[in-house]
């Protein structure tokens, strides 16, 4: 199969990747160009941030977050990395993730901010989950990561935080929330969550790009990343929703993109209005971060752990 763009120019360059839902075959050079153009298009379409703003990129050491940092840096945005060292699996997984993030930061010549959970809060994420009596480490981890991204953004003067969530992540989350009819989550699921009530702006520039596309971009740019997933992710229910959507995508290419885009266009505005009518934010009595309760969930969890 030949690269469609090269072929249009009279060249016979072999395609490196075929994007079924776009019916597009591209060589390495033109795929990278296409990928970065799609990323820039999404940033502008949703007015995520401007070139005058500092962007805090949450990096785990995985393909998506490092690919995002690489793309944004290449596109000329002022980026800073932020990595949370969680202390997973006897620190071996976390040590490897941190090492990869540091090496990558050196490669692109950008600063990396590191938050060590054990040093700063006194517990690893698995200790926190056990202390809270939770078998599902992922949900606890997610709430702590969101809290810390906002906290560090505020402390370092960032108004925007970017994450590497891709289309597979977003469509699986949407399916999960729709099956459960989680009105609050459906009202807040968006490529951009605005800065309000003390929260930093959260953006997802890869929301229309598939996991296949982000991993291809990482590989073609020689980005080293942690290839094994988090040991705790095997408990995550999102895997089942991703498998269901992968089957539908195989049978009907473009299903995930249509599902997510049509939700944003037709359904989300309805859910968003209902959420805005109900949610009231105030400052946590302990840490001062925004919350809907007198004390935020992170501070409540830490208080319980210290009392044990």
Rank 122-126, 131-135, 175-179 by mean pLDDT and report only the highest.
Answer: 175-179
Contact indicator for 117, 125 with CB cutoff of 8 Å: yes
When mean pLDDT is compared across 134-143, 161-170, 229-238, the lowest value belongs to 229-238
Decide: residue 272, CB within 10 A, 0-12 exposed, 13-18 middle, 19+ buried: middle
80: left (phi over 0), alpha (psi -120 to 50) or beta: beta
% pLDDT > 90, the chain? 73
* pLDDT tens-digit series, residues 63-81: 999 999 999 999 999 999 9
- Residue that the structure tokens 């977050």 belong to: 65
Beta strands in 134-247 (DSSP E): 160-162, 192-193, 201-203
Q: Which of the four pLDDT bands, split at 50, 70 and 90, describes residue 110?
A: very high
When mean pLDDT is compared across 79-93, 161-175, 289-303, the lowest value belongs to 79-93
279 pLDDT higher than 70: no
* β-pair partners for 282: 291
Q: Which of the four pLDDT bands, split at 50, 70 and 90, describes residue 90?
A: low
Q: Which residues contact 244 (CB under 8 A, 6 or more apart)?
A: 175
230 pLDDT higher than 80: no
Q: What is the mean pLDDT of residues 231-259?
A: 90
Q: Which of the four pLDDT bands, split at 50, 70 and 90, describes residue 280?
A: confident
């Amino acid at each position: 199969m030949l690269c469609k763009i090269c072929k249009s120019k009279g060249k016979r360059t072999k395609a490196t990747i075929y994007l079924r839902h776009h019916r597009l075959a591209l060589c390495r050079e033109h795929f990278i160009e296409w990928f970065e153009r799609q990323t820039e298009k999404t940033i502008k379409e949703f007015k995520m941030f401007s070139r005058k703003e500092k962007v805090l990129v949450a990096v785990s050491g995985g393909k998506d977050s490092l690919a995002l940092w690489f793309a944004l840096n290449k596109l000329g945005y002022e980026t800073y990395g932020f990595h949370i060292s969680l202390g997973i699996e006897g620190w071996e997984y976390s040590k490897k993730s941190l090492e990869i993030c540091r090496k990558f930061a050196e490669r692109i010549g950008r600063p990396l901010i590191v938050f060590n959970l054990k040093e700063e809060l006194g517990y690893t994420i698995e200790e926190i989950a056990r202390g809270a009596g939770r078998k599902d480490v992922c949900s606890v981890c997610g709430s702590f990561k969101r809290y810390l991204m906002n906290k560090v953004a505020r402390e370092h003067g960032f108004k925007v935080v970017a994450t590497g969530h891709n289309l597979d992540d977003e469509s699986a989350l949407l399916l999960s929330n729709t099956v459960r009819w989680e009105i609050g989550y459906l009202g807040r699921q968006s490529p951009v969550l605005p800065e309000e009530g003390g929260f930093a702006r959260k953006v997802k520039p890869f929301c229309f790009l598939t996991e296949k596309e982000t991993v291809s971009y990482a590989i073609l740019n020689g980005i080293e990343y942690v290839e094994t997933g988090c040991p705790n992710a095997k408990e995550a229910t999102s895997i089942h929703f991703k498998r269901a959507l992968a089957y539908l995508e195989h049978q009907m290419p473009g299903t995930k993109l249509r599902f997510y885009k049509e939700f944003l266009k037709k359904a989300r505005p309805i859910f968003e209005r209902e959420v805005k009518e109900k949610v009231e934010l105030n400052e946590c009595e302990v840490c001062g971060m925004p919350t809907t309760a007198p004390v935020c969930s992170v501070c409540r969890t830490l208080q319980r752990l210290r009392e044990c």
